[in-house]
Chain A
Amino acid sequence: MTLVVAGAAAVYTLRIADDCLVLSHRLAQWSSWAPALEDDLALTNIALDLLGQARGMYARIAELDGTGRSEDDYAFLRGERAFVNCQLVEHENGDFATTMVRQLLCSTYQLAQWQALTASTDEQVAAVATKAVKETAYHRDLATDWTLRLGDGTDESHRRMEHALAALWPFTAELFESDAVTREVAALGVGPDPGDLRPEWDAYITRVLGDATLPAPEVSWRPTGGRQGLHTEAFGYMLAEMQHVHRSFPGVTW
């Protein structure tokens, strides 16, 4: 299945929207399963913010690709190969440590990205970004707090955090990949080339992991492909669940 949107700006925006939607969905899976009520509230808060960000971006994509499709067309009527989120966001929740490490890695990236997007030449994207910066700063703070607490908490929490980092770290390489789409968009001033976000991300993550007494893992494996619609096996199950009801009743209003 080919990408369903045309034009570099639309593809680029779709990548960001899909990152938000998929991560939101994963976080929402925590509902009623979090370690404490406060954590349930916090995870749902982040999931709601991300869903709002995705919806803001889908609305813009429908204009950019000239199809005028609805947000639900993007979310519910594309197959596995048409989603262009990075693989990190689709990674299964695992334990609370895995979810929080994933959140730290993602939110740090997304915050840098939204900050750069506030200066986008695309005014609608800039408007979504302005709101998203505030929200994402909170997501990053929350994930940072948990990283410190769990990294420097008990032996068990430390061990779980190391395990989570080892599992997720390989997926971070993909976040910073540049390609023809990102180069074109950067040249137009629509958004940053992901490679340019790396120094800020590295600096923040290194500092937090250091404070949390967690060594950054050394890995040789660098999975990639999400931006081309190549996903992990777990993603198909996620989409099947997410899209099932919508697709079972074609063309109706909800």
Chain B
Amino acid sequence: MFNLLIGLGIGSLYACLGAGLVISFKGSGVINFAHGAMAMYGIFTFDRAWSGGEFFLPLVDFLPTSTVNVPVRITLSSAGRWPMIPSLILALLMAAALGLAAHFLVFRPLRNAAPLGKVIASLGLALYLQGVALVNFGTSFPQAKSIVPTEAVENFLGLGKTFPRNTIYVVAFTILLGFVIWAGYRFTRFGLATRAAAGNEKGAVLLGYSPQTLAAVNWVIASVTATLAVIIVGPIQGTITPVGLTALIVPALAAALIGGLRSVPIAVMGGLGLGAVQTLLDIKRSDWFTGPALGWLQSGVRNTLPLVVIVVVLFVRGKSLPSRGSVVERRLPLAPQPKRIFEHAFVWLTFLVLLAFVFENSGARTKFANSLQNGIVLSIIMLSIVVITGYTGQISLAQMTFAGIAAFFTARMMADGIGRGANLVPVTGFGLPWPVAGLIGVIMAVIVGVIIGIPAVRIRGVQLAVVTIAAAIAMQSVYFENDYITQLRAGVPAYIKTPTFFGVDIGARSARAQNENPNFVIFGGIVLALCAIAVANIRRGGVGRRFLAIRANERAAAAGGINVVRTKLLAFAISAGLAGIGGVMLGFKQVEVSSANFNYGFGLSVLAFAYLAGITSINGALIAGMLLSAGALLPTFSNYMFAGTNIDKYITLIGGLAIIVTAIANPGGVAIFLSEPFRHAGNWLVSAIPGMQTIRHAFRGPKSFMVRLVLVVICVGLAVWLRQAQFVDNVYLWVLISVVGFLILGMIFARSLDKLEPSFAEAGAQWNSWFKQFGVTAIAGYAAGWVIWPIRVDSYSKLWMPIVGAVLALFVRSIVKPILSNRASKTHGSDTDSDVANIRTEVG
């Protein structure tokens, strides 16, 4: 009983946030994953003003120079502190501003978007706010001061124990808040209009309110109550961190769902109850969960509770098929069939090889190798999202969890009872070789994937997202952070043995313990290529068609004889399997497996970045993994090129912003912009290298299997050859030799198939016409790079910057040109760009 009362403290936090979620849902139909993050910005604003006397706007100085700055930090008082009341008002104003911004800049433009788009946008918002907070407030957070008295009450209610006084205030505040909100919505005209608008926008109009104004006001109310609640309730829960506050979204969602996303009082009661039971379980876990049967639950039971509540509430309400007349889900971006695999592989390989030489000196080469390893691993995980969300339309936030399951299992299967690496405590295991252990890990991921997929049978859209994130959090504490199961003490990572292939070390680390072993890139590249081909084949075959049918319309799919349940579970199985492969590779890459790598929060950003890059295409997955994510190629490249920009620090923030823009303006993601350039580049490369057309033709011809085999051998050979780079002093000479050597090899191969096509003369003509067409742009870009970058950037690579400028100029041209020619062809009738038309007929 007493323990239940203690838990009301944390319960209040869930209750207040849950109430806010209900309000924003009623106001605009959005389940706001950024709710916790918005409250977080509010409380930091308060804390910094009250105990630091300073105020940060929710943005950062994004200009990469020290001469021109964007105002961010405002000093309120030089004494380093500010009175409490103005600080509080300032924080609430900030919350109101954030609420308005969330409505007008993010969710209002998205009011007709698919649920996935809204989920992604709110994740983007959360990422942005987290990113801003990390930059502005740093990573070390002092214990926020409480504004309610904290001293204890002796002999509380005659129970003979002391009870923290603040809990009493806080609970009273929560109940009062719940009551005020309830009464406000029950008895005012505004509340009536909101309720009317939730059913039907016309209802609100009849009452004389614009639905958009109503939504905006509701956003402000949600944001302000959340901030107020966290300021009052938060500090009694210990240190407040941006990530921790964002995580509160899950129990808060559980509370909101108990209230059916409709009733604030029930949500408040639910939140209080949830907190109480959680705390009770927390205190009693060592008494209740003992012995081999239940002991493993000790550390995870607390975080499993919200999952159980959410699943039960939603599963009971859900239906195995959407009912007639339920609004058909708005469409996700199209998922076109992957075509021109040959050209794509060619472009990606060319791109990577070129990039490899950009990082010419050895220090940067290590960074490049590391980011390439990162990219390969992440791309595999991104592919798993393409299958589950892109193709099948199920929003899963648990992909990193599947990866983690596979990785942890693999590590354990390989463990041999000897402590090594960072983990000197021995972990028992089976000492299996890595392929067997990895396979077992992936199979475990598949099993867990199917289990987590079961709720998807009856739960759809954003509610499924809620279930999967709850599952991810539960898994994290039941398994990854549970030393009862993992035998790892105090968050120490599990050691994973280096994989070898017939005695060759194919692990990630080099002799000097850096992530630069090129063998791992070859190994990972092969795994990634196989996974990408598998996903492409799935999309081109019947299985993928069934996935897309379910994504498009579940009722029609069932009427077409598709077993919707089994197909959804299959999608989860395949996706979890891919994520599992990614997880195992991540384990090999890190040489250890730690729960931090598979944090549920990372799972959120993985989904968001997958969407940013293009969630329905393989190119999107590769872009997401290789280029966009933190630690991948683009940030590394950018840090190398624009030394001093420290883009790593801003990646969450820029990513969050880009994700919001993508969700609103370009749901197809970056891949949309790249598909045309890819096609052009692929075709151009094929037509500009003697013999390539011969090979491409044979690639699709009757002898295709043999041709593919030879090409794979050449690719792997090229990779093995490239890894010798470290032994050559003059890298340029070496590039020249490699490129020429492999071109000759390719031509010999082509000649053995048929006569060379294009011939040398034709290829030469291509180069010539390329220069005529693009030379001006390229030179202009080169010159611009030379002139402009030094002004913006403090230090830079004089050799590469102009080249980057040239590439950027070409990229911009490739985006702008089709738009212009489109416009031109609209006004001038059917006079299409002959260049584009040519390529179409040639390929088609």
**Are these two chains actual partners, yes or no?**
no
B contact set with A: CB distance below 8 Å = none
